[in-house]
Every structure is written in structure tokens, then in C-alpha cells.
Structure 1
Amino acid sequence: MEPFSFASSDSLHFPVSIRILNLEGSEPPIPFSVLVDRLDLKHTGSNQSSHSDLYATVQVWAGSKPLTVPVQTSYKSFRTERRWNEWLTLPVNYSSLPENARLAITLWDLSPTGGEGAQGHAIPFGGTTLPLFDRENQLHRGRQKCHIYRHKAADGNDDSKTPAFLRKKRVASKKGPVTSEDKNAEESDRMDALFKKHEMGEIPRVDWLDQLVFRKVEKRGLQSARPFQKAAQRQQEPQSGLDDGNELDGRRDPEPSNFVLHVEMPRFDFPVVFADHEYPPPPISSLQHLSASQSNIVLKPPPEVHFGPGINGVDDDEGYGGPLIRVYDPEVGARDNPAESKHRRLVRSQHRNGILDKDLKPNAKVRDELNLIMSYSPTHTLSSEEKDLIWKFRYHLTRNKKALTKFVKSVSWQDLAESKQAVQVLAKWTDIDVDDALELLGPTVDNSSVRAFAVERLRKADNAELLLYLLQLVQALKYEHISPQSGHEVAQDSSLARFLISRATQSFVLGNYFWWYVMVECDDGSQDQGQDNQAIYHKIAFDFMTELVKQPDGNETRKTLLRQAEWIAILSKISGEIKESNESIARRTDRVKNFLADPKNEMVTIDPPLPLPLDPSVEIIGVAPEETIVFKSSLHPIKVAFKTTSGRKYPVLFKTGDDLRQDQLVIQIITLMDNLLQKENLDLRLSPYKILATSTTAGLSQFVPSITFQSISSKFRNNPALAYLKQNNPDSHGPLGLRKETLDTFIKSCAGYCVITYILGVGDRHLDNLLLAPDGHFFHADFGYILGRDPKPFAPAMKLSKEMVDCMGGSNSEHYRQFKQYCFLAYSALRKNSNLILNLFSLMVDANIPDIKLEPDKAVQKVKERFHLELSEEDAIRTLERIMDDSLSALVPVVIDKLHEIVQHFRA
């Protein structure tokens, strides 16, 4: 037996396509006497010319319902025949087609008066319904001859009234002899089958013989045209009287059509057999509100179904028509296992009201188990046995500040008695750290008493510490029980809102940032944010202003915030105009300078001094128009220098058309990490510049005088970074010809940014967003890709370029070894604070940050993977060292940097 090869339709990931070839056939002209009475027929295109202009539409149907929108042929003007010869691609893949898929093909005529089934001035000339799979479930290939039903649009139904293929009748019967018409029809069908085999390559090609056959068949086709028409008439007679849409003059019955539409389906090397796509089990729906202890449970897998003997096969004796279908009910997975629930109640009932529980102490083995549980990261899921163990020794654990978050996860908050006792135990707990308090304010905790306990811990933080987490705390308001309905203050609903408003009204710096963070949320009208969240933040903003005016200097502070909003509006206006104009950079710069210098715009002199929203510790008194610069990038950000009360100038970048919230988050995390490292007595000379998003499409950024590595490389040939630093900080007696402080600053800042950008997964790193200040401070800019995303292929996990290492004296130098040592110290210090960083990211899951929004359920996990918490500290440092070596020796980043340089050169 010869091997037989075929393909399944579910693996064919190509769009469905069909080629509309030509229309054959004719019909007798309508008598003039009829056209006089029927003006609607007189002006129809096909009644005026036998080769009038027609167009075809194709639509995929299945189950008597359309699957796609119709696709239309382009305009063609016909002269001697109606021939389109045009491929149409439909918006559905072969892999998505069901078994009963078919193509509804309709030819449209033009009529100024319309008619039945008309779409504007288009009326159906005729239609046909072509199934995509034949009776053997194989995809149709090659040319197809489709019968056209006049004055009807293709219906596409499973029991179509416009089938493309006519049912074949028996040639001979007992009632009469075989007619010549039947013989001609049979011979025509046989020749069509042979022609199709010839086209598919199943019959060898002989050019001289093929030409003779083609002429003979063409002549025979003309002779058999009339018998074919009669055969079609007999086929249509039983149903011809059912549809009045075919009537032309209202008096005679509709006649069958002898029009035939030739189409061509794609040809594949092997037959394509229908195979349905096997979908995975449906996701388990959240049918009940999950508490904190259940919110991060691992969803139960689909149950395994074990069949008995003979059940899984076809058993006609038992009445089964085929194998049984396994149906997975998602409701089952969302409910607790009754046996496990009863077990939990029985176990905890022994330790619910017992007096002895307060004196229970774990032995050495249990103590080790509890210590292991306490070391779990915030994303770790507790097993039922671990939850029971925590509940049993809950009174003992009240002295452990790290145990509170694990205790909250172990409580079944749906059980009223258990939750009531848990709240009582909560009151006896020792003070917890800020990172645990932030975890209790996340989306997994919905108990108001627990959240209020976390807020009490935050009250002990000073304003400087609170400012580090303020961005996340504003996002945590989404998880409070605040009603979007107006009527009462949010402070009555939420302890967190009451706390933030209270602290923001007492400190202008906190109030400044709190106001702008809330304003951005009010401005976010996207579907991801939702109208309810917008209403909540509008209420928070209103309550903040209401509480602010009650303070001694509240009215002045309120006016200052409103002046800041006006100042931002003025900058937004000129920035928007510059971005939309088609002028040269020089002309745009002159326009901005003239605008800022105009006294009407109140930017030359700002009186009284205005605290800068980007940095409220700085008060500006006016602008220096002559130092204004418009950059060449697509959004054309504007650099504006403002005069301050201290006599210095503060340069600011203002940008419209871009959402700066992701950059703002990264800079905030870098600032926090710098603070954590300095607490470990590790000052890596980081210089995170300030960023403030003032809306979802605009924002401010501090401008730090610096130069990109790309510009340095184009200016200096050999060891460009070192040459640049030597030019600004020469010292013939210092290391590498530099001042020792400059080289030390460069090495430390490189180490800090390398580790931090690796942990955050910052992508799209090239020499244009690596910057170097004249005093040796190295830093990154442009954080459009984070959490491991990168537009370039084979991007390294860490950006450690040759230019950076050469400036340290090479990979074998003592300075490079010192650089690696700083990297290891920074990585170890940040790993100790991993819980805080992970909790901050968990609070940003619903913040509408682009790279977090792509996979919000995996965002925290992606950061956790970079910490390698499953490894010991020594193994984690070895892993980091291997990543650094791989990044330094990688060839692809060097090639990409060169390509980027070429692209930027042509843009310039």
C-alpha cells in the first residue's frame, strides 16, 4: 500500500482565500413591452447590456450564521466577457473554520430604483453557496464551477436554497430510456473532473495534445449549453414557485439560470482534512468573592475522568453513538472542597476558644517549620497544612512582626466567628515593618480592620519615608471600600484615604505630589481605569481641597496648587502647538522663545514665586527664554530654564503626547533603592532625576546636564568615555589620568544602575539612553520598556557595554574588579529588601502602566525572578556575575548599537 500524506485544517494558519475568475452563460433578453411597463427593469444594468458591470462579494457562513464581514472585488469594466480574475482574502484562518463552513458568493447588479434585496443602488444579480469541505471532509482545491441563482443573494445557510453544486440524477431509470441531454450532462461532468485532475498535476501535460483537447472541449461546451440549461430547469422546478424574488414581470414563473461562476480555491501539496481545534478547559470563573487567604490560591486543575471498561468506545449494543464527551464545569473549581472545608473547621474548632491556645509554644521542629513559612516571599501560596499551623500558634506568633501577613492569609474570612477572633488577635500583634503594611493594603486584602491596622503602622512613618511610597499608596485607594456614589465623604469609608488627606494637608511637599498623583487618575478615562475609579478619585480630590481650606494656611496652599495647574496649562498649549506644526526646529524654537517672552503669558515674571510641581522645594520666579531648546524627536519636547529664588536656574523638559507614568514609576523605584542602599552605608552616587506626570499625555522631567555615550563615541575615537572625563576632570597624578573622585563616582554609579536596571528588567538599552555627566555621574534615561520587554532581539539581561568597562581600565583592571564588588554588595542589599519592592509593584498592578498592563498577573513574578530568592546569597551572586560576563561578551548588542547609530545619523 502506498503511503498517503495529508494535512489537518487546524494546523493551517493561513487566511481563507478564493479567486473569482469569470461568469459564463446568457439568458434571453426581456421583451421591450415588459420594459415599458417595468421601469425598474428598464434601468437595471444587466438588462441594458449583456456584459454590464457586476461586482462580487464573498462571506464565510457556518451554522446558518455569518462568521465574517463580506469581502468585495474591485471595480472592473467588462467588454466582451465578465472576467474578474481577482484573489480575495477573507478575515478568517483555515484553522478556525468549522466543518460546515461555506462561502456565500453574491454577484451584484446596479439599479437606480433598487428592488427586493437591494443594498443602496446594488441589487442581487445572482448568488451561490459553496461549501469549503466536501463530503469526505476534505478542503476543496482548484477550480470550481458554481451554479448561479438569478435575482437571489446567496443565503449561506446549512440547508441552502442556492447550492453551488446541483444534485446528480440517475442516468437511467425503469420509466424511460436514457436521453441525449442526460448523456451530454454526464459527459460534461466527466470532462470537468478530468480537467481538474489535469490542473492539479495528476494527469501529465502534453502541450500539443492539450491544445487539441481544449479546442474540442470548447466546441462541445457550446453544443451542450442548452441541454445543461434544461437539466438545471428540471432540478429547480420543484422549488421554483417558492420564491417570488425571481419574477421579472409579475406574470410568469421564475426560470432557472444557466449562468455559471468559475472560481478557484488555493491548491495545496497534500489534501487538507478537517480537524477541529482542541481547546483547553475553560478558565475557572470567580463565582464568589475570594478573601485574602483565598485570593492567591492555585486554581484546581481540570478533574481527571476515568472511564470504565468499554465506555470510551463505540458500543452499539449499549446505545452509544460514539465516544463520551468530557465536560469540565468551571464552577466546581471555584468552590472549596467540602471535605477540606470540614477538615479545616474541625481542626480550628479545637483551637478557637480554648484557653490553652494562648500558652501553646512550638517545639524545635515546629519552630523551624514556622521560620521557614515566615521566610516566604509575598507571592508565595500557603498550603492548608501551613495555614492550620499558623492558626494553631497564632498567639505565640503575635511577637513576630514578620508573621502578620502570613496570619492574614491563613484566616478564612468568610467564617464570621473565625474572622471575629482573628481581629481580636490582630490587636495584640507587635509593630510591623512598612513593607508588611504595604502588603496588607494590596488587592488581596479586603478586610477593613486589617487595612486599618496597616494604616496605623504608616502613621509612624515620617514625611520623607511616606513620600517614597506615596505613588503606591494613591493606587491602593482603588482597593479601599469607597463608594463611587456621591453623598458622603470618602474619609468615612476609608481609613487610608483619611490618613493620606490628613498628612497631605499638613505638609506642602506631600500635598503637592498627592494632588498631582490624584489629578492624573482623574484624567485617566481609559476603559482599564473605569468610571467608578474616576469618580472615587474625583471625590478624594474634592475632600482633599475641602480639608485643606480648614488649615491655617490652607487657602494660600489651594491657590498655589491652582496656579500650578494654570502654569502647566500654558506650557501644554505651546508644547501642543509646536508638536503639531510642520516648521523647522529653528523656527519652532523661535516661536517658543517669543511665546515665553511675551508678558501676556505671565512666564517672564512669576510673582509671587511658584513652587515647582516637579520639585516643590524649588520656587521659580520667571523664565529665561534665551535658553529654550526644542528637541528633534517625534514629540518635540521643550527644554525651558526657570529662574529660582536661590539665584540659580532650574532646567525642565516638558513633553506632551506621551504617558510618563511608567518612567515616573521607574524613577521612584530607583530613588527608593538608592535610599535602601544608603541605609546599608552603600552610597553608589546615584542621581535619579525627577519626573512628574501631570496628565495621561503630558509631564515634566528634570533636565540634567549630560551627554549620551553615542555623542561621546562620535567625538572621541579611542576609549571615548575616559577621554570625555579626562577633558573635564584631568589629573596627571590620579588613576587613569583622572581625578580620583570622578573615577570613583563613575564606577559606583555604573554599578548601581547596572544592578537596578537588571532587577527592573529595563529594555531598549542603547548608547543614546546611557548618559554621562561631566563630574562622572552615569545614569540611564528613557524607560519605555521594563519587566524584561525589549524591542530588539537577543537583548542582554544587563546593559554593560564595552565603552563603560574601557573607562574603568578594561575587564582585567583593579577598577573593574571594584566595580563588580559594588554590584555584588548592591544586589545583596536589595535582595534583603525584596519584599518591599515586590509589594510596591503589586500595588501598581492596576495603575494602567503600559508594560504592567500587558500581563498584570505576571508583573510581580517577573521582578521576583530577577532576585533569585530560591538561591542562597552566594549562588545568587555567582548568577549575577555570570550575567555580567555574558552581557560584556555578547556580540548582538554591539551590532544593534551600530545599526542604531546609522539610523540616527540618517534621521539627523
Structure 2
Amino acid sequence: MSDANDSSANGHPERCRNCSNNPIEYQAPGCKHPSLCKSCAMKQATGGKCKMVNQLSSKVCDIHQPISLKIGYLEGQIPKRSFKQVLDNPELKFAGSQLDTLSDLYITAQLYSDDKPLSIIYRTKHKPFGKIYLWNEWVNLPNRLSSVPANAQLALTIWDIQGAGQAVPLGGTTIPLFGPPSEDEGRQRLLKRGEQKCYVHREVEADGMSDSKTPAEVEARNEKGRLEDLVAKYGMKDLPRPKISSVDHHNPPPIPPPPCPPSGVPPLGNYLDWITKKTFAEIERIHAAETSSSPYLFLYVELPKFESPVIFAEMETPSISALHDALSTLPLPPHPSGQALSQASTSQTHTQPVNSVLDDAQLWKVLDPDMVKENVFEAKHRRLVRSHRSGPLDRELKPNAKIRDELNSILNYPPTSLLLPEEKDLIWKYRFYLSRSKKALTKFLKSVTWTDPSEVKQAVETLLPLWTGIEMEDAIELLGPGFLDGRVRRYAVGELARAGDEELQLYLLQLVQALKFDSHTPSDSRSMRSFHSSHTASGAVSSPNGGTGTGGIGQGGILSTEDSGLADLLIERSVGNPVLGNSFHWYLMVECEDKGVVGRMYARISWRYMTELMKIPDGPKRRDVLRRQGELVATLSARAKELRASKDKREKKIERLRKYIDEPKNHLSTMAPLPLPINGRIIVNGISAEKAMIFKSNLLPLLLWFQCAPAVPSANASSPEDEPLEPAGAKPTPIPGSTDPTVPKAESREAFPSSHPAVDARTEYGLIFKNGDDLRQDQLVVQLFTLMDRLLRKENLDLRLTAYDVLATGTEEGMIQFIPSKTLAGIMSEYGSLLGYLRVNHPNERSIDTYGVDPKVLDTFVRSCAGYCVITYLLGVGDRHLDNLMLSPDGHFFHVDFGYILGRDPKPYPPPVKLSREMIEAMGGPTSPHYLRFKHLCHTAFSNLRKSANLILNLVALMVNSGVQDIKLEPDKAVAKIQENFMLHLSEEQAMEQFEGLLNQTSLLTAVFDVIHDWAQYWRS
């Protein structure tokens, strides 16, 4: 101890306290070994005796990056064949080594272990050489460092051309990835790093076997080799350097005076830089002299550099017993009897495998290297086919009849279809001809190579402005996650701006979701692109285009990040239309609940909306209305939570609710006129306390009846687009004891027929407020019901659908419009049949053909049954039973409670078309003319909706990242399931025939499940 201190005080470099030979290179204050040389530090690191020293090295099993190496340059002389060799083998005169210029050499690389290849052969790109053979190219293998064995080695072969289509090995070399075990490293194998000098064995291929005949390492027997070793150590900072920190700072040694510099030598401050340059210049001179006279070939490659040495270590896999022990500490599932099993009993009865992959030796992962590499042949073919020299000729190019039919077939593909390379090339070839087609733009943009700047420039700057106006379904597709170029999205927003406010209201829910894929500010651009990338990688986003060569739009390339203007359009329209602005505000509020970058982005858009709102004359008043709506929702939410937490009986809770509403201080029984959040067209001035109810379900939803204020037409409503909007439903028709707004209206306009009167004359509005339930899925389903109703009305097909209002005011609360009606189960128990229920409410004894029911009412029932059978089939609505099928007194049949969609159903083997026996009997049986008319309406509705399948699919695709429950379960399959129900792969006749078969399938299990459900409801109550 004293010796070391004395040496430090005398100014001499302190020696390692372990071996006392080498100078100190690593210090670990406070440890058992505070001063160590590199060799001793590595021994301590591998032995695990010093916690601080353990940090000096890394384990290869923790490095998950792919294996890569940089092919540098070839050093040495390549002599030409002798005249005798050429005479013996005339083909040698075509070899590249016989040329006066440098031959077109290329190198192949392959990973080996245990005499077996671990990867496919990778080849360097073609490169013309100048004075030396310099590749300077990185080769990336699909294998990861964490998964390679200790004896892995790279086999590199240098190939020379010899005639047409022939190549001969110029030489080969084999590089082990890990060095041999060494005493200095504690018998550990270190990963090689930095530049490697590989000896090339002439005229043989690289041998990747364990006892390789082409090893890369050779002994440095001359001055050149010794200097190269020193340069390599200098580059890796492995040369010994004394530490200044080892000097005693309280008693520093005296600094000797600097020597007088000789002539031509710089001052002491720059002396080290000067001597370093001189040294390396001398090394280069010695290197060049010995290389020119050396008969050997050397290949220089570079391996990745790491800050610390990397030791070979394998990942420790927990044993099956350890996994079982870990599983035993988890909480146990409850027993079907309601009692929890004991830990001891579970350990004896639990027989399910812990890890099926570990237990099943027949399962393993297979690596496909083609997935991480672009097909160079296809890329080259694409560049040749799309040669820009043919651009001027393509302007006048027109397809013949056969190619025109092929193009039409491609254009009819659904938006989820991936285009083949041949189809993309065909579309690109006739791009100017297709610019006259409305529905060809999306297919053309999917055919663009977005990593080719010239193609992108021609597509965006030349063709996009020339393209004829596109349909709304294509504009919505361009706003999806598959098209992230700002210029393309701005074009789509321009087309979207041509739609009126009423049509925009139909797509508003999806357009708000489309803002996630937009760029609003530079920071938003980076954040939202990373959000999109993470969801794509996990399968949350299914890009409909599939890309071209490099992943397509949104997967990299020459993308513009300019703002599309979608947010500006929605804000402008919302400021100009109070009803549209009401819905826009609440859609934004739900998205603002996200705590991440998405929520912050929507909060900024909401702030911009409020800022623009304050610039118009009635802006402060409208902003105050939105504030009051928020207070109303917060009040109802707090009251619902309080009543649900209370242990009082339901009757007592209803009494408390009515008392709370009736108290004047709560401002609920009477209030200033306020548009409802669920429907901005409905103006209310109070809640009827005596009609307030609480449902029996677990969440105890509140049933509230709002008193409507007298409706006054808007002074500035000068066009159908400017009129206040109401979700599609019905013209109010008086019903005994209620006001049902569900009877459709026959008015129509050019774009979409309006189903709303100019002035709403209802006197009260029933509303269900639910807290603790996510209504975003119900909101989406009802919105699609509304859209499909408009699409059918556009084709003059009125199916009397009841698309009631639904609004999610948060991720766990929302509102539903209450339609006076009864469940089919309740009707069957009270009236015995659906016809009996309709006869009581709308009798007509003279009408024998309609079984004593008013013909208009029975016609409404048949039409609404047909509409909902088709729509629920297309959306895959599940869990249908007699308690969520509703029938109003005037014959409007409709569905409620959409907890299962996209084919999900809690019951096994559910029928695809939801048609119960009670519904068929109400039509007069399967042979009655009403049932035949029902089937005809189903066929007509299915055929008409197939024409708008792309619009529906694109709207659902925009909801993939919306958090809707059933879409979130399998986001990559959501659109595909609806597309399958549309049968787009079949012709019109084939689809109608298959749909007819679905209608004729009478599931015997349906009646059985209804009985089981009735018994379950009975015992639950």
C-alpha cells in the first residue's frame, strides 16, 4: 500500500495492484480492487467479484442488433495468367484479371456454425473500380448477435468474372466472430470489433467448416504486421495509458521544464499532434513499400465497434419447473361454484401446460430472410419498365380491348386488396389514360414507388392536378393510414370540401379519427408518424396499399409532411354550422382523454376550434353553450355514479333521482334553452322529474325525459346544407302515449336524401344516460346504420330504419336516445305474438291480407325487418336474442345493444342472418306474400349496399385506431371481416345466389338459444 503511494508521489505511473506489472487503466473507487490493468479488470469482470468492474464488459446475448460487416478494400497484387496457362485453358483470356483495367470483382458472404450455413449467401453490389479495389459497403445479415453460437464464423469469397455468365473464385477467407479463449480474459471469448485484416487464400472458395482451410488470421512476421497491430490497438484505445487521477493531488510531483524544441518542431502544446501525424505518415510509407513487394492478398473488413468489450454469453432460459413455481404465485381463478380454490388443491389439480411452445417440441420459429431484403431483381425490373425515357410516349398511350378489361378488373378491386407488381406496372404504364377515370386514382397512388424522387414528383406535381374529380369514398381512403404524403392528403381534403354539411356529418366520426394520420405542426409530424409506425408494427394499422418495393406510402421514401388542411376544413365547417360544431366538439373531447401524444394533438385542435369560434358574432354564446353542455354531462355522470354506489333499493334510488332533479338549485327541472350534446338540433329547457327512471341492469342507466323548447327556424338557414342536422331517423308521428321520431320521410336531394323536417316539433326527448360503459362501439354501429339508410334512400329504397342517436361523451359514459318500444321477449310474454301486439296498437279488421293490422304498419314492419337483417349481417352483429330486438307500436323493428360486432358472438354457431321464428310468423309464415316481399327487399338492399362497399370499408378502416372494443381485439382483420360479408370476390349473380342461401338457412339453434337466454334472465332476476 505504501509502495504504491510512494510511486505515485514520485511521479511514476502507478502499477496494477493485482499483477504489479501493467499500468493502471481502470479504476473502481470503493471496491475491493480499486486499481487494475485491463487484463486483471477483465478477469474480475468475468469472475463477478467486483460490481464496478462488471460494468466494463457487455454480454452478446443482450445485443439484439443484426450481424453486419463493412467490406473495405483488397490489398495486394493480382498477377495475370501466364501465356502457357492461357494456351492450356483458352477461356482464361476472358478472365477479368487478364484485363489492363481492374476487373469487376464481387464478394459473397455467408454465416456458418458447426459445419452448417446459418444464412443465405449475400452478394455485394456491382461497383466500377478506379485505382484500387474499394467496396466500402455494409453487408447486413438477418441473424442477430444475441442468437449466434460461439463458433460462428463468416465465410467471404472474392469472385472474378471468366467469360459470359461464369465466375471463378479469386480467393477466400474465414473470419470467426469471437476470438479464442484467453487467460487474460478469464477464459472468455470476446466478440471481434473494429477493422480486421483477413488473409485471402488464392483461387479457393471460403471454407466455413470448423477446421477451416481458409483462416483469416496470420502471424505478423514483419515490421508491417507489427505496426498494423499497434494502429489497430490505437484505434480501439487499447494502448496502455497512465491515469492522471492516480496522482496525489495534495502533493503533486514537480513539473520538469520542457525541452527546447529542435528546428522545424512546433511548440510543446501542438507537439503530440505533430508527432502523431509524422508517425502515421511513416507507417503509411512502410506499408506501401512492403505491399508493393508482397505476394499475398489481404481483405480489410470492419466489424461494428462497441464502447466496451463484448463477452460471449448465452441467454439463460428458465426451466419448466421454474415457470411452474412462478405460476404458483399468481392469483387463482375463481371456481365455478363461486369459491376460490386453495393453493394446495390447485397445485394438485392444475394440469394445463405453462408454456405450450416449450412443452411442444414440434413448434419452432423459422426465419425468412426475404422479408428483410428487397428483391433486387424486381427492383431492377421495375426501374427498366418505368424508364423515364418513355414518359413523353406514355401521354398518348391507350390500351387495347384486352388490356382495358384488365385495367377495369384492377380498378374494381376493394380498397384492402394488394396489387401485384405486374398490376402496378400496368397502371403506371397507362397512368395518363387512367387520369380520366374517377376511381383509378387510389390504385395509381398505390402503384407509385415512393422511394423514387422522379416518380413521386411526376405523380404529385404532374398527374394529381390533372386527375378528374374523385368520389367521396376515394377521398376518404386517401385520408387513411395508408396515404401519409401531405400533398396527397391535401388533394383529398379539397375533394372532401365539395360535400355539404349534412353529408359531412355522416363521415365526421371517421374524419376526426383521420386527424391522427395528419401533420399539424413539425412536432406533431414527428410524434404522429411515430404513433403510426408503432401501430403498424404491432398490426394495429393495416395499410391497404402494401407499398411498392419498399413498403409503399407511409413506409418511408420521399414523403411530404405538409399539413393537409383537414383540421382547418372541419373547424371552418363547425364554426359555420352549430349542429356540426356540436358533434365535432364532443368527438374531440373523447379523444382528448388520451394521455399521450394523440390526446395532446386533439387538445390543440380543440383550442384552435374555440379560438376560431370566438371570432364570429355569436361565438361567445356558442362557446358558453358547449360549457353548459359539459356541466350537464358532469352533473349526470356524478349522479349516476352516486346512485350506482348506493346500497338502497331501486325504488329508493328512483325517488332520490327525482328529488334531485326537482330541486331548483340544481337547475335541471328548469334551465335556459340548451341544445343537447347528443343532437344539437334538439333544444331543451328542462327535465321532467316525475318521468325519471332507473333501469334494472347492473350499471343502472338513467332514463330522463327532456322538455323541448319551441323550435324556431334558423335565420341563416338558406339551403339544405345550412339547416340544423339530426341523425337519420324518422318524421315525428304521434303514437298513443309517446312521440316516436322513427317514421322515415320521403324527401330527397341530389347527394343524400334528407330524413329530417325543417323544424323539429317534438315536445319531449327521451334520453338514456349510462356511466361505466363504453358507447363508442354502439356509436359507430348506429352511425353506419344511418349511413346505409341514406345510401338506400338515395336508391329510392326506404326500409324504415330507426337509426336513433348515440353519443359517447367519454370512454366510459355516454347518451342514447330512448325510443318508446318493447322487446320481442316482452311482447311474446304479454301478447303471445308480434301480430297481437300490432293489432292492439293499430287494428284494421277489414284488412284480411294483413291479418287485422293496419297495412301501413305491417309494411313498416316488413321493411324494417329486411333492412336490419341485411345491415346486421354486413356488420357481423352478434349476441342477438329476443331481449335486444325491439318493436315500436307503429311497426318499426330495430336492434339495440351492440356489444358484439364483426362476427363475434358469445353463442356457438350463430346464424349469419338474424331472423327469428317470431318475426317470420308475424309476416304470415315462410309461404306468405309478406315473407316473399321481405326476401325481395333483402336482395334489393344487399345489392344496393354492395355498390357502396368501398365507402363503408374505408370508413371502418379509419376506425382501426379509435379504441372501439371489437375492432381493437383484431384491428388487422376488422375491415376484412366486413369485406367478406359483402362477397366482393363474387359476381352480382353469384352473390345474390349465396345470400339467398343464407336467408334460407333456418338455424335450429336459434330457438334453443332464445329459450336458454330466457331461463338465464329468469334466474338472474
**TM (normalized to structure 1)?**
0.64
TM-aligned CA deviation for residue 783 of structure 1: 0.3
**C-alpha distance in 1 between matches for 2:610 and 2:774:** 26
Gap change, CA 1:654 and 1:561, over 3 Å in 2:
same
Counterpart in the other structure of 1:334:
372
**C-alpha distance in 1 between matches for 2:1007 and 2:382:** 59
| Aligned partner letter, 1:723 | G
**Contact 1:68/1:92 (8 A) holds in 2:** no
**Contact 1:627/1:640 (8 A) holds in 2:** yes
Counterpart in the other structure of 2:652:
587
Equivalent pairs: percent with the same residue? 49
TM-aligned CA deviation for residue 744 of structure 1: 0.5
**C-alpha distance in 2 between matches for 1:73 and 1:641:** 48
- For residues 275-300 of structure 1, the C-alpha deviation after alignment (integer angstroms, 9 at most, x for no partner) is 6242243xxxxxxxxxxxxxxxxxxx
TM-aligned CA deviation for residue 351 of structure 1: 5.6
Q: Does 1:625 align with 2:689?
A: yes
**Contact 1:442/1:476 (8 A) holds in 2:** yes
- For residues 304-360 of structure 1, the C-alpha deviation after alignment (integer angstroms, 9 at most, x for no partner) is xxxxxxxxxxxxxxxxxxxxxxxx255x413321111111111111466x3222111
Counterpart in the other structure of 2:987:
872
Secondary structure at the aligned position of 2:512 is classed as helix
**Contact 2:878/2:903 (8 A) holds in 1:** yes
Within the candidate set 531, 535, 539, 2:604 is matched to 539
**Contact 1:484/1:536 (8 A) holds in 2:** no
Secondary structure at the aligned position of 1:616 is classed as strand
Secondary structure at the aligned position of 2:945 is classed as helix
Within the candidate set 632, 637, 660, 2:775 is matched to 660
Gap change, CA 1:68 and 1:543, over 3 Å in 2:
farther
Alignment of 1:596-745 (within 5 A): 596-607=661-672, 609-646=673-710, 648-717=763-832, 720-734=833-847, 735-745=850-860
**C-alpha distance in 2 between matches for 1:539 and 1:639:** 35
Q: Does 1:469 align with 2:584?
A: no
**Contact 2:774/2:811 (8 A) holds in 1:** yes
Counterpart in the other structure of 1:250:
none
TM-aligned CA deviation for residue 489 of structure 1: 14
| Aligned partner letter, 2:443 | K
**C-alpha distance in 2 between matches for 1:739 and 1:351:** 73
**C-alpha distance in 1 between matches for 2:1004 and 2:417:** 37
**C-alpha distance in 2 between matches for 1:448 and 1:535:** 21
- For residues 141-169 of structure 1, the C-alpha deviation after alignment (integer angstroms, 9 at most, x for no partner) is xxxxxxxxxxxxxxxxxxxxxxxxxxxxx
Counterpart in the other structure of 1:62:
319
Alignment of 1:26-425 (within 5 A): 61-62=318-319, 68-69=325-326, 71=328, 88=347, 94=353, 96=355, 276-281=361-366, 328=367, 330=369, 332-350=370-388, 354-423=391-460, 424-425=462-463
| Aligned partner letter, 1:479 | F
Within the candidate set 460, 466, 471, 1:433 is matched to 471
Moved more, 643-652 or 662-671: 643-652
TM-aligned CA deviation for residue 685 of structure 1: 0.7
Gap change, CA 1:66 and 1:673, over 3 Å in 2:
closer
Secondary structure at the aligned position of 2:433 is classed as helix
**C-alpha distance in 1 between matches for 2:1012 and 2:527:** 57
Gap change, CA 1:275 and 1:787, over 3 Å in 2:
closer
Q: Does 1:834 align with 2:935?
A: no
Gap change, CA 1:89 and 1:542, over 3 Å in 2:
farther
TM-aligned CA deviation for residue 543 of structure 1: 1.2
Alignment of 1:758-773 (within 5 A): 758-773=873-888
Counterpart in the other structure of 1:25:
none
Counterpart in the other structure of 2:1005:
892
Gap change, CA 1:275 and 1:557, over 3 Å in 2:
closer
Q: Does 1:551 align with 2:616?
A: yes
**Contact 2:490/2:563 (8 A) holds in 1:** no
- For residues 787-838 of structure 1, the C-alpha deviation after alignment (integer angstroms, 9 at most, x for no partner) is 0000011211111011101111111001100000000000000001000001
TM-aligned CA deviation for residue 62 of structure 1: 3.0
Gap change, CA 1:61 and 1:444, over 3 Å in 2:
closer
Within the candidate set 620, 623, 641, 1:576 is matched to 641
**Contact 1:611/1:620 (8 A) holds in 2:** yes
TM-aligned CA deviation for residue 648 of structure 1: 0.5
Counterpart in the other structure of 2:543:
none
**TM (normalized to structure 2)?**
0.57
**C-alpha distance in 1 between matches for 2:381 and 2:474:** 30
Within the candidate set 589, 592, 610, 1:519 is matched to 589
| Aligned partner letter, 1:826 | A
| Aligned partner letter, 2:447 | S
- For residues 100-119 of structure 1, the C-alpha deviation after alignment (integer angstroms, 9 at most, x for no partner) is xxxxxxxxxxxxxxxxxxxx
**Contact 1:472/1:843 (8 A) holds in 2:** yes
- For residues 434-468 of structure 1, the C-alpha deviation after alignment (integer angstroms, 9 at most, x for no partner) is 00001111111111111111000010000000000
**C-alpha distance in 2 between matches for 1:659 and 1:893:** 28
| Aligned partner letter, 1:430 | T
Gap change, CA 1:679 and 1:613, over 3 Å in 2:
same
**Contact 2:767/2:816 (8 A) holds in 1:** yes
TM-aligned CA deviation for residue 706 of structure 1: 0.2
**C-alpha distance in 1 between matches for 2:602 and 2:329:** 49
Counterpart in the other structure of 1:497:
567
**Contact 1:351/1:392 (8 A) holds in 2:** no
**C-alpha distance in 2 between matches for 1:906 and 1:368:** 62
**C-alpha distance in 2 between matches for 1:645 and 1:73:** 58
**Contact 1:760/1:863 (8 A) holds in 2:** yes
Secondary structure at the aligned position of 2:466 is classed as coil
**C-alpha distance in 2 between matches for 1:643 and 1:602:** 13
Q: Does 1:907 align with 2:1020?
A: yes
**Contact 1:61/1:67 (8 A) holds in 2:** no
| Aligned partner letter, 1:766 | H
**C-alpha distance in 2 between matches for 1:786 and 1:849:** 10
**Contact 1:621/1:643 (8 A) holds in 2:** yes
- For residues 10-68 of structure 1, the C-alpha deviation after alignment (integer angstroms, 9 at most, x for no partner) is xxxxxxxxxxxxxxxxxxxxxxxxxxxxxxxxxxxxxxxxxxxxxxxxxx953998785
The root-mean-square deviation of aligned C-alpha atoms, in Å, is 2.6
Within the candidate set 628, 632, 637, 1:563 is matched to 628
Secondary structure at the aligned position of 2:909 is classed as coil
TM-aligned CA deviation for residue 88 of structure 1: 2.8
**C-alpha distance in 2 between matches for 1:501 and 1:482:** 13
**C-alpha distance in 1 between matches for 2:1007 and 2:685:** 46
Secondary structure at the aligned position of 1:359 is classed as coil
Structure 1 unaligned regions, length at least 5:
1-59, 75-83, 100-273, 282-327, 526-530
| Aligned partner letter, 2:803 | P
Secondary structure at the aligned position of 1:523 is classed as coil
Counterpart in the other structure of 2:899:
784
- For residues 381-422 of structure 1, the C-alpha deviation after alignment (integer angstroms, 9 at most, x for no partner) is 111111111111111111100100000100011111110110
| Aligned partner letter, 1:278 | L
Secondary structure at the aligned position of 2:906 is classed as coil
Counterpart in the other structure of 2:486:
448
Within the candidate set 821, 840, 843, 2:958 is matched to 843
Q: Does 1:509 align with 2:585?
A: no
**Contact 1:391/1:411 (8 A) holds in 2:** yes
